[in-house]
Amino acid sequence: MRSVRLEGSPPQDWLDAANAVTASMKAAEALTISDAKFELQLLSGLTQKAEFPISGTNLLVIGEVSGLLHVAAFDAAGKKLCAVEEASKERPGSLITELKNLLKDNWKVADLKALEIKEVFRLGTLLVRSFQIDALIEGNQALWRDERVREWLFKKFNNKCWYSEAQESVSSYHLDHYRPKGRMKDDKTGATSQGYWWLAFDWTNYRVCGQLLNVKKVDQFPFADAVRGNAAELNSIDLESPILIDPRSQDTRLVSFEFEDEETCVAVPAGDIIDEDKDRAERTIEILGLNRLARLNAKRAEFWTKARLAIADYQGAAGKQALRTITKINAITRLREMVIYDAEFSSVAEACIHKLAPTPLRAAVFEAAAAQ
Cα gap 90→182, rounded to integer Å = 16
For residue 240, give the nearest of 178, 153, 182 by alpha carbon. Answer: 178
Amino acid identity at 204: T
**pLDDT block averages, 10 residues each, the chain of length 372:** 93 97 96 95 93 95 94 96 91 88 90 94 96 96 95 94 86 89 92 93 95 92 94 91 97 97 96 96 97 95 98 95 95 96 96 96 84 55
Q: SS3 of 138, please?
A: helix
Listed residue (145, 149, 188) closest to 286, CA to CA:
188
Packing angle of the helix pair 114-139, 95-103 (nearest 10 deg): 160
Q: Is 122 left (phi over 0), alpha (psi -120 to 50) or beta?
A: alpha
Reduced 3-state DSSP string for 311-371: HHHHHCCCCCHHHHHHHHHHHHHHHHHHHCCCCCCHHHHHHHHHHHCCHHHHHHHHHHHHH
Taking 3-state DSSP, the helix, strand and coil percentages for the chain, each rounded to the nearest 5, stand at 45, 15, 40
Per-domain residue ranges for the chain? Answer: 31-139, 147-288, 294-371
Q: How many alpha carbons lie under 13 Å from residue 154 in its C-beta half-sphere?
A: 17
**In angstroms, rounded to a whole number, what is the distance separating the alpha carbons of residues 211 and 166?**
11
Which of 219, 141, 208 shows the shortest CA–CA distance to 168? 208
Alpha-carbon distance 76 to 58, whole Å?
5
